[in-house]
Amino acid sequence: MKFSKQVLELDWEAKAASLSDGLKEAVLKKLRKRGLVVAVSGGIDSACVAALAVRALGPDRVFGLLLPERDSSGLSSKLGRELCEKLGIQYTLHDIAPVLEAAGCYSQRDAAVRSVFPEFQPDMKWKIVMHGDRLNTDALNVFYVVVQVDGQEQRFRLTPQAYVQIVAATNFKQRVRKMMEYFHADRLNFAASGTPNRLEYDQGFFVKLGDGSADVKPIASLYKTQTYKLARHLGVIDGILNREPTTDTFSLEQSQEDFYFSVHYSQLDLILWAKNHGITPEEVSPEMGLTPQQIQRVYDDIDQKRRTTAYLHAQPLLLEEVSELKPFKIS
């Protein structure tokens, strides 16, 4: 199979038809629910799922949730509202900051930052990042906190304990959002949607029992660039189509490459496709403008993330078999 930058191109109407038919069957027949709840973040993935759901089920069977918190960009809610209104779906905005405050999300997170930067104050803008150039080094990933002080960004290396405490605390955000989704899903007798694209699903870029939980994940087979193109075909608003992906988790804007992926999604999509189809780094290199060694580093990072995040996909372990439920599945 020959590799090129066109391998991710599809017939978008055919793909829209196929996924919408599959989503309709999944929600109405397999899950036996009346509709679908979608947490609309202002980003491309949830926008694509919402638009696909409207095509599959109609606007009356789709309910949108906007769930900002203290660190969310105001642009996210603005774009989320615009999308819901264009799609003609009912939606509600619920600020989850009070729940997070009560759960200790912000206080535990701030304490971890102060362990490496004692002068940190809650009103300072900040984020966490990995070390810079991962294409040209085999060094282990290490994490830093970047804090904006008097208009200048300062960088402090995180200890392992501080890093895991920040991640554990910020994971509250996705778990509280999913709790709200399931409240509305139960209230309406709707299904709860998941919005990961293929990169996020494959590479474990989600929170277990947070955005990783769902009754149906409509776009988990689509690479990120394919999600953008399908969303455009489905009529998603330009403000979202033209927006770069962001975690929208910290008060300083954080790209997905800052924190997790080794390269920009436009490159990673193609490299992941090549790896999935057995294409060697030497074959990929000329098309991508990267050396075979750089491609191999991305391949290795893909494998490493698959190994370390496999538990996110796993069902709970049972110590003894419950034979009566073993054959159970949704059909």
Q: What residues form the annotated binding site for Mg(2+)?
A: 45, 200
The answer to whether the beta carbons of residues 168 and 128 sit under 8 Å apart is: no
CA-based diameter of the chain, in Å? 63
The first and second tokens of residue 38, run together, are 């979608």
Extract the annotated binding site: 39-46, 175, 195, 200, 208, 215, 224, 246
Please give the single-letter amino acid code of residue 324.
E
Alpha-carbon gap, residue 44 to 244, rounded angstroms: 9
Give the number of C-alpha atoms closer than 13 A to the C-alpha of residue 246, restricted to the C-beta side.
Answer: 20
3-state secondary structure 173-239: HHHHHHHHHHHHHHHHCCEEECCCCHHHHHHCCCCCCCCCCCCECCCCCCCHHHHHHHHHHCCCCHH
Contact indicator for 49, 229 with CB cutoff of 8 Å: no
Find the Cα–Cα–Cα–Cα dihedral 69, 70, 72, 77, rounded to 10°: 60
Tell me how far apart the alpha carbons of residues 275 and 303 are, in angstroms, rounded to a whole number. Answer: 10
Residues tagged in the binding site annotation for ATP: 39-46, 195, 224, 246
Please name which of 29, 63, 58 lies closest in space to residue 46, comparing C-alpha atoms: 63
Known binding residues for deamido-NAD(+) are: 175, 208, 215
| DSSP single-letter state for residue 27 | I
